[in-house]
Amino acid sequence: MSSKYAYEQLSKAGARVAERATKVPRHLQPRLQKIMERGTPQFRRGNLPHVRDEERFDSEKQWRFLVGDRVVITKGKLKGTVTTIRMHDRSTNGYILGPGGPTRKVPVPKTLWSEGQTTHIVEMPQIMKRKDLKLVADIEDPKTGNLKTVAVRDLVFRGGYYDENYKKVMPYRYVAGEQGLIVPWPKPEVVPDGELGTTPENVREQTFWADSYVRNPIPNAALLTIRNPNSKFRKGTLKLKDLARLVAPEMPLTPERKEYLRKEKELKAKNKNILERPALSLEDMQMIDNRIKDHLEKQSRTV
Amino acid sequence: MLNFNRCLHDTATRYARTRFTIPKPKPIPSSNPRKPTQTTHYLKNLEVTPPIPPSTANKQFHISDTHPLWQFFHTNIKDNKKSHDYITPPSQLDTQSRSWSITELRRKSFNDLHSLWYACLRQRNIFAREMHLINTETSSNKNNHVHSLQQINEKCRVTMWRIRHVLSERDYAFRIARSTTTNNVIDQLSEQVETTEQLERFQYAVFGISEIISENVIDRKFIDGLKYITNLKLKILAKKHDTLNEKLVNDLQLNYRDNTSSMGINDLAEAFIVFIAEFDLESSIEACDAIKELRSDPKNKISKYDELETISKYIKQLKESSSSQDEVEVTPEAI
């Protein structure tokens, strides 16, 4: 959501409410999609519908193919073409393929022509669905020992390891049904560290030690900017007024109920011996033990 | 997203003109309007001058490259030449970096966190200005540019709340430690002290007494700490060295090897002598001699009510001597 005023970016106060206001109810979403599509020119529109935020792919397990993976197209005019994944389209959960991938022709107005463009018609890459692609991998032929290129029907993800290239824990990508056949993740393009980043050495350097429990590590003047001492959420002690609010008053009993409770108490006192649950003595336990033993022996004899 | 303009069901009727809502005709402009009650001489002296052409080449607008306000603009380094961008080009925005995590921030001192806070704040200032300016433009890439700026801005904001969280956590930990540490814990800790460095760390941790004199706050707690450290010093050394133990028992009637007796140095002047002495045998023996001399005159005993005033004097003297770098021995007798 882009806002008109810069100061709106400074604080996040009320952002949750504002976000709720922009959310379109689920039953209106198809209609909205239609209106949006009608208003969007063809060159700005993708060939796949947008997916809802909660359905968007997030992890490697969901994407299955990462940028740089070789894939084969299994549907459409270009069925059988082997190409690479160039980009993920997050808004449609789709893949934009590299050279050799499917394209479509769209007219572009002259005001938006790029440098060197001579015609209104431009070839735009078509977004592909996950189910129309299959991963291509090189595996060793057990008979000849040569490498052969195969399309993997299905993938299974198991375990995990720290990947130096992605700098995070990645799952192992196994070929389904083939024990121990792993298709490694593609090596991503090396992105230089951003200028706002801090070097790992500087981040890991420790400069704070808890060296005294008498001297506060934070100056007194700074405390007010860290925390609101008068916050209503941090009172610490409950006063009588707060307790009265939290504890509901006891419901008075009706005379009938009082009478009933009295009678029940009397009855309990009277039948105390009868109602008491008999305790299981050692002899009883021995008896049960013998009975079960006999029964089991009998059973084993019959078998 | 959609812009839902919600209207009340009675808007139409309210806006409809009825016979009661015919607006009054405008008043006829007065033929004799009232003159301004206040006038200034500036009004009379006003002269129309030729306009100054807006140009950065003008000398009066020259700004040096080292002007601190340049920190609020993106710096572009190309061919070893520094230049500043009015708005950061989208290709040069750092969208890859992430926020600082809480575990990373926990390792940093207050000063580091304070600096990081202001670095983030400055960066957010730059983003706010750039977003405001981009929004006034009419480029096709405007939304994408603002969106990536917003994302980086959010990362800075996350770092900032995490800094506050870490400091708040640290403060709570400090308060809890202070309220739960008992004398037993202090005694247990004191048993581990062996070297001078450990003693320094112990006195700072438990009593907040720093080796740098000017950092200390003189109060009751400081005096109690001073006495505790004095007795601890003598106790450790007396257990190690028989000569010192004999001296303490014979001259000062102090037996630190006997755990049952709770006797120790309680006089401030005596405690101060041992406190400023080095943590070794020779200095302790010298300190013992000084205490013995001090005890010879009963006037030297300091009453509990004068302790604060006296220790302030001692410390002041100590500060002066250390600042003048003269090797003047500061003893209670000298003061």
Tokens 């909660």 correspond to A54
Q: Which two tokens stand for residue B81?
A: 């030449």
Q: State the Cα–Cα distance between residues A168 and B3, nearest whole angstrom.
A: 41
Residue A1 pLDDT: 44
Chosen for mutation from B167, B168, B199, B212 (greatest number of chain A CBs closer than 10 Å) is B167
- Cβ under 8 Å to A: B residues 226-285: none
Half-sphere exposure of A280 (CA within 13 A, CB side): 6
CATH no. for A60-183: 2.30.30
How far apart are alpha carbons A286 and A298 in whole angstroms? 18
DSSP assignment letter at A77: T
Q: For residue range A50-106, what is the model confidence (pLDDT) as tens digits?
A: 888 889 999 999 999 999 999 999 999 999 999 999 999 999 999 999 999 999 999
Q: Indicate yes or no: CB of B171 within 8 angstroms of CB of A227.
A: yes
Show residues of chain B in contact with A193, CB under 8 Å: 96-97
DSSP state of A182: B
The whole-angstrom separation of Cα A149 and Cα A135 is 10
- Residue B256 has a pLDDT of 82
Residue window 188-207, chain A: list those with CB within 8 Å of chain B: 191, 193-198, 203-207
Residue B266: CB atoms within 10 A of its CB come to 11
In terms of C-beta density within 10 A (0-12 exposed, 13-18 middle, 19 or more buried), how is residue B149 classed? buried
Say which residues have a Cβ less than 8 Å from residue A107's Cβ, sequence separation at least 6: A42, A43, A120, A121, A122
Residue A40 in tokens: 């969007």
Res B10: pLDDT: 67
Average pLDDT over residues A109-118: 88
Q: How many helices (H) and strands (E) does chain B have?
A: 12, 2
Q: A6 and B164 in contact by Cβ < 8 A?
A: no
Instruction: Say yes or no: A7 contacts chain B, CB-CB below 8 A.
Output: yes
Q: Which SS3 state, helix, strand or coil, does residue A175 take? A: strand
Q: pLDDT digit string (tens) for A168-207?
A: 999 999 999 988 899 999 999 988 888 899 999 999 999 9
Whether the CB of B152 is below 8 Å from some CB of chain A: the reply is yes
State how far the Cα of A211 lies from the Cα of A213, in Å rounded to an integer. 7
**Whole-number CA gyration radius for chain A:** 36
H/E stretch holding A19: helix A15-22
| Site of tokens 């008498």 | A214
Torsion of the alpha carbons at A231, A237, A241 and A245, rounded to the nearest 10: 80
The ipTM estimated for the assembled molecules is 0.70
Closest CA in chain B for residue A215: B208
Cβ–Cβ gap B205/A213 under 8 Å: yes
What pLDDT score was predicted for residue A4?
A: 58
3-state helix, strand, coil split of chain A in percent (to 5) is 35, 20, 45
| pLDDT at A156 (0 to 100) | 95
User: Backbone phi, then psi, for B295, in 5-degree steps?
Assistant: -70, -20
Output the pTM of the full model.
0.69
Per-residue pLDDT of chain B (335 residues; tens, 9 = 90+): 455 555 666 666 666 666 677 777 888 999 998 888 877 777 677 778 888 777 666 566 677 888 889 989 988 888 888 888 889 999 889 998 999 999 999 999 999 999 999 999 999 999 999 998 888 887 777 888 998 999 999 999 999 999 999 999 999 999 999 999 888 888 888 888 888 999 999 999 999 898 888 888 888 889 999 999 999 998 899 888 888 888 888 888 888 877 665 678 888 888 988 888 888 888 988 998 899 888 888 888 888 888 889 988 888 888 888 777 554 444 555 44
Classified as helix, coil or strand, A7 is helix
Residue range(s) in chain A whose domain bears CATH number 2.30.30: 60-183
Query: In which residue are the tokens 């084993």 written?
Result: A300
Interface contact A210-B207, CB threshold 8 A: no
